[in-house]
Structure 1
Amino acid sequence: MIAANLRHLRLFLAVAETRSLTRASDRLHVSQPAVTQAIGKLERVSGGRLFDRTSAGFFVTPRGEVLAARLSRAFAILDPALADVSPRLRLTATRAQLQALIAVHEAENYTLAARRMGLTQPTVHRAVAQIEREAGRRLFERTSFGLASSRQAANVARAALLAFREFELAEADLAELDGGAAVRIVIGALPMARSVLLPRALSTLHAERPAQPIRVVDGLYDELLSGLRRGDIDLIVGALRDPAPIGDVVQERLFDDRLAVIAGPGHPLVGTSDVQRTALREAPWVVPRAGTPSRAHFDAWFGADAPQSVIEAGSILLMREIIADDRHLGCISAQQAQAEISKGLVAEIDVRADWPNRPIGLTYRTNWSPTRPQSRLLDLLRAAPRDALP
């Protein structure tokens, strides 16, 4: 693990920037032998030479350039949050201390945090206390509901998570140089993406890179967004939000979708032209969850007389099985329903609704720098509207 020792990573960057062991040791107030030892250890764990040693100084190799780029990004995220707590933390905070702070911030309890980390409670408490001593104040306050993080503790926790993800991506970049794949791609998938956008893209990527670990996370939008912002998820695929949910993410539109009303093939309204809203209000419905853009469009179309007999579900498979009784109607993405319609499993009802277009696309962190496999996945997803969608 290249990020086991943050001091070693900082020493590597100092040598890369100054091209000198002496100037790097002066910058970080350590001995020159300590710098030499740190570089040697980092070269061993990173799998190859990071510097060309010449009489004119130390010059980064291609491997060193890759590592330096990722580490610079990581510390650009982490250091402002540390400096906001204490200027000295930039030099004194360790990975173990930051991991303990993250765990306490998330668990809101030292015992639960220790259990999550597989450590004893005193060990976790001591690690956080060391950061608090540098800060000169408490970063967590006890309340009746547990430990409440200060603004600074929350900022450090989030910055550390994102920096740690950059360290992982550094390992992926280095593995790519050696023809391997080290870090899993994690995709947050909203319902429409699971049935339309992702299958072909992932199949192609896996055929090209069989050793590339990939994980698809299903969930509600707010849960996926939280995972994205903390670095657990690399990108979200599905319906975009208007306006964008927060300033530290970017939304990239791929295409527009619309809603469709569907029913079982034997429903009395199948084949009827221009079905009016008055004929639909009393029907039992399967509709998207409240709070989603699709549900907002559905409710707005009906206005004050929206149907009251509804089941909330975003899965086309569940919806298909419910509407098979030829009583229920379903409202879902037209693209998501297309495969079921083409197979004759469901039928679209002509309601002549003027549904607003729904932008579908990608959501990722501002200034995200994807690895080569992640970039390839992005290319495949961007090509999907041209090559894969009906």
Structure 2
Amino acid sequence: MSTQSKRPERPNLRHLRAFSLAVGERNISRAAEAAHITQSAVSQAVGKLEAYYGCRLLERSAAGVYPTELGRVAVERIDRALARLRAATQRAAAQQRPGAQQRSAAPEAARPETQRPEAARGARTPGPQALDRMLSLSQLAAFLATARGGGFKAGARLLGLSQPSVHRAVRQLQDVLGVELLEHTSLGVAPTRGGADFAAAVALILKEIDLVADDLDEARGRHRGRVAIGSLALGRSELVPRAVARAAKAFPDAQFLIQDGTYDQLLLGLRAGDLDLIVTAGRPLATDDVVEVPLFDDVLAVVARADHPLAVNGVTGLEDLARYPWILPRYGTPTRWRCDELLRKVGAPQSEGLIETGALVSVRALLLESDRLTVLSRRQIAVELESGLLAALDVPLPEPRRAIVATLRRDWKPTQVQAALLQELKAITEEWTAADTALRPSA
């Protein structure tokens, strides 16, 4: 059995914080003072964290303490998680209603000593900047599961816990922050506006903490991490599978997930940390927490079955396109915009007898069984073009080139396996670009 499988689901948040403080202060005594706990508590916390990860994280000497090589790997990811938690709790606490802080302090005072967070054991209630010290990962996980599941029952089922324990953990979290994160709606329990922001932050906090184990495994030569890729259209049919196959060959113990869906669904998953990157056509970004990394320029074409009248006899003019029904990509996609522009230009009906789908398998079958036309990537149907099943018509398209990009979280810190997958995406598209350039006639 692997070391990872022996570990509980997640480490203790207080242990992570104590280790981070010890590294930052280079001194157990100063770390204890900063954490408002005893020196022995700091030492025990670090020891338990070392047992959890199965490696030495901290070296002790007469001059103080310093991280081992693995300790430096761990603390970089831990500090990212703690910084996210600190910022998220401060944003949430800023939404407190008058009197909320006083109300939130009451449950802590009434709670038995053994159930209070260590940072809360003192004569005064921490201010907003110290609220993160009063939280636990179980509270954060309970809230996120409830917010995503739409209720405490669903949240309990997601976590494999009892409903009362999940409800209690979420209530404790709200008491500490002094703000309501959930509200009852006609459809169940849903995050408030501030709760939705906090849930998004919690998802990334838990993601960072989970990746500590992957970073440490990779530092020890064990590449058993997981990469989750969201993919649309061309990426799903060819680019992403090729990149995953190459990365999986280099890292046979790693896990890969290829997730499809609409762009909005995948973007939501990316921002929540469920996905590590998305491969899609470039488009204007509505949020500043993600960035696009260009991969290559794809070429679109009007496509029909190989024995279509327009493929056999040729296109005499754009008006020919208006005589046949169309298959259109989903509304809101970059390719759909190009289709709509073309149909407006040729005067074809845009609302009568249309079929809309983003599934290449469906598009291919519809083209082969009808006289319908559509717009597709030439590379996406390279096999069908070479085998003579489909044909690309000689029709000028408005802006026939589209940028294919990898969309990432702006502050993403990839593991080695994740970085390797992104590198394979770049390598494959560089090969495609070089091949296209070689085939292009010289001036």
Same fold (TM over 0.5): yes
The offset of 1:381, in angstroms, is 0.8
Contact 2:338 2:397 in 1 (8 A): no
**Greater alpha carbon shift after TM alignment, 142-151 vs 295-304:** 142-151
The offset of 1:184, in angstroms, is 0.9
Equivalent position of 1:305 in the other structure: 348
Q: Where in structure 2 are the equivalents of 1:156-171 lying within 5 Å?
A: 156-171=198-213
Contact 2:311 2:393 in 1 (8 A): yes
Amino acid at match of 2:33: D
CA distance in 1 between partners of 2:41 and 2:149 (Å): 37
Equivalent position of 1:142 in the other structure: 184
Q: Where in structure 2 are the equivalents of 1:205-224 lying within 5 Å?
A: 205-224=247-266
The offset of 1:143, in angstroms, is 3.0
Match of 2:293 among 238, 252, 258: 252
- The alignment partner of 1:65 has SS state of helix
Alpha-carbon distance change, 340 to 91 in structure 1, aligned in 2, over 3 angstroms: same
**Greater alpha carbon shift after TM alignment, 12-21 vs 69-78:** 69-78
Contact 1:275 1:350 in 2 (8 A): no
Equivalent position of 2:419 in the other structure: 375
Alpha-carbon distance change, 160 to 351 in structure 1, aligned in 2, over 3 angstroms: same
Alpha-carbon distance change, 150 to 262 in structure 1, aligned in 2, over 3 angstroms: same
Alpha-carbon distance change, 369 to 322 in structure 1, aligned in 2, over 3 angstroms: same
Report the RMSD for the aligned CA atoms in angstroms.
Answer: 1.8
The answer to whether 1:43 aligns with 2:50 is yes
Amino acid at match of 1:123: S
The offset of 1:221, in angstroms, is 0.7
The answer to whether 1:348 aligns with 2:399 is no
CA distance in 2 between partners of 1:49 and 1:193 (Å): 41
- The alignment partner of 2:310 has SS state of coil
Match of 2:78 among 71, 78, 92: 71
Contact 1:274 1:352 in 2 (8 A): no
Equivalent position of 1:109 in the other structure: 151
The answer to whether 1:229 aligns with 2:271 is yes
Contact 2:279 2:406 in 1 (8 A): yes
CA distance in 2 between partners of 1:349 and 1:326 (Å): 16
Match of 1:287 among 313, 319, 328: 328
Equivalent position of 2:376 in the other structure: 332
**Greater alpha carbon shift after TM alignment, 126-135 vs 221-230:** 126-135
The answer to whether 1:16 aligns with 2:59 is no
CA distance in 1 between partners of 2:429 and 2:152 (Å): 48
Equivalent position of 1:33 in the other structure: 40
Equivalent position of 1:184 in the other structure: 226
* Cα distance per residue 1:74-131 (max 9 Å; x no partner): 1222211112334243111111111111122223322222222222222111111111
Contact 1:3 1:9 in 2 (8 A): no
- The alignment partner of 1:169 has SS state of helix
- Percent of aligned pairs with the same residue? 39
The answer to whether 1:317 aligns with 2:324 is no
Contact 2:92 2:177 in 1 (8 A): yes
The offset of 1:247, in angstroms, is 1.0
Contact 1:172 1:183 in 2 (8 A): yes
CA distance in 2 between partners of 1:189 and 1:326 (Å): 28
CA distance in 1 between partners of 2:201 and 2:262 (Å): 24
Equivalent position of 1:119 in the other structure: 161
The offset of 1:20, in angstroms, is 1.0
Contact 1:162 1:230 in 2 (8 A): yes
The answer to whether 1:131 aligns with 2:173 is yes
Equivalences, count: 389
The offset of 1:379, in angstroms, is 1.2
CA distance in 2 between partners of 1:312 and 1:325 (Å): 16
* Cα distance per residue 1:147-192 (max 9 Å; x no partner): 3423332222111110111112221111111211232100001111
Equivalent position of 2:306 in the other structure: 265
Equivalent position of 1:238 in the other structure: 280
CA distance in 2 between partners of 1:247 and 1:354 (Å): 29
CA distance in 1 between partners of 2:151 and 2:242 (Å): 43
**Greater alpha carbon shift after TM alignment, 315-324 vs 232-241:** 315-324
* Cα distance per residue 1:351-374 (max 9 Å; x no partner): 223334211110010111111111
Alpha-carbon distance change, 199 to 137 in structure 1, aligned in 2, over 3 angstroms: closer
* Cα distance per residue 1:279-328 (max 9 Å; x no partner): 12231222211111101110011216344322212233322222112522
The offset of 1:271, in angstroms, is 4.1
Contact 2:92 2:194 in 1 (8 A): yes
CA distance in 1 between partners of 2:11 and 2:141 (Å): 11
Equivalent position of 2:217 in the other structure: 175
CA distance in 1 between partners of 2:327 and 2:190 (Å): 40
TM-score (norm 2): 0.83
Unaligned runs of 5+ in 1: none
